[in-house]
Structure 1
């Protein structure tokens, strides 16, 4: 059962990210619980408030190059390179999503600017 939930969570997140990457922000309405809880400073909780905020955030028009997805029965962790038109070097992001019954209920993230390549002897990703 746990493996099935992990697979479902991974498929749900990858599909959602693919749609989001195509500019379909409305996909979040189906992915997020109405009482979605956001743990990142400055980002609002609640599905509608979060979607409105995200629609005008840099991530809405960024390219998301997914590097890793790790899931279990309750969480999905996505590590990706986010590149915007204003920042070609981009940022490294780790999103942690908590899912209950196939719906995202909580989110945490860590965002780190990608430094110059000479500062990364083993690469950023």
Structure 2
């Protein structure tokens, strides 16, 4: 088993607050874990290229369409985090909280920490997953505040 596959299996085993998944949904969950981990953590871009077609449709207004938009977003996020701190920004720590599957949609809710001391960002990625490829993407990102008006956490 490759390092990436070990990571995917470990993450999947630790997901909590999950609905019961069918075998097809389990495969979609593991594929989104492969995509996000290979792209943003282990930098196995050959995996990214297999899972994201050239005609990938991107809804994040800060990057363009096409497969390269996922790499463009990665570089933009690193540059933004680097601007916010004098600390070296390297591989982010991504904690997946829940992954939901409904038809062609796969939604991942995660906590991303870009550098030491970062409170992080709550991220919701929504993908359209068709025939083994992620063909469309939406996202919502929200910084984790220092103080909250409730004790529920964002996760």
Alignment TM-score, normalising by the size of structure 2: 0.69
Aligned length: 123
Among residues 88, 113, 121, which one is paired with 1:83 in the alignment? Answer: 113
Q: Which structure 1 residue ranges, 5 or more long, are not aligned?
A: none
Q: By how many angstroms is 1:65 displaced?
A: 1.0
Task: Determine the C-alpha separation between the residues in 2 that align with 1:26 and 1:62.
Answer: 19
Q: By how many angstroms is 1:99 displaced?
A: 0.7
Task: Determine the C-alpha separation between the residues in 2 that align with 1:22 and 1:108.
Answer: 22
Change in Cα spacing, 1:52 to 1:70, as seen in structure 2 (3 Å) is: closer
Greater relative contact order (CA < 8 Å, ≥ 6 in sequence): 1
Q: CA RMSD in A?
A: 2.3
Q: By how many angstroms is 1:120 displaced?
A: 3.9
Among residues 11, 22, 27, which one is paired with 1:8 in the alignment? Answer: 27
Among residues 124, 139, 150, which one is paired with 1:94 in the alignment? Answer: 124
Alignment TM-score, normalising by the size of structure 1: 0.84
Q: Residues 1-125 of structure 1: matches in 2 within 5 Å? A: 3-20=22-39, 21-47=41-67, 49-58=68-77, 61-85=91-115, 88-125=118-155
Deviation per residue, 1:5-58 (Å, 9 max, x gap): 3222112112222323223234210111210000011111111x3144135232
More strand by share: 1
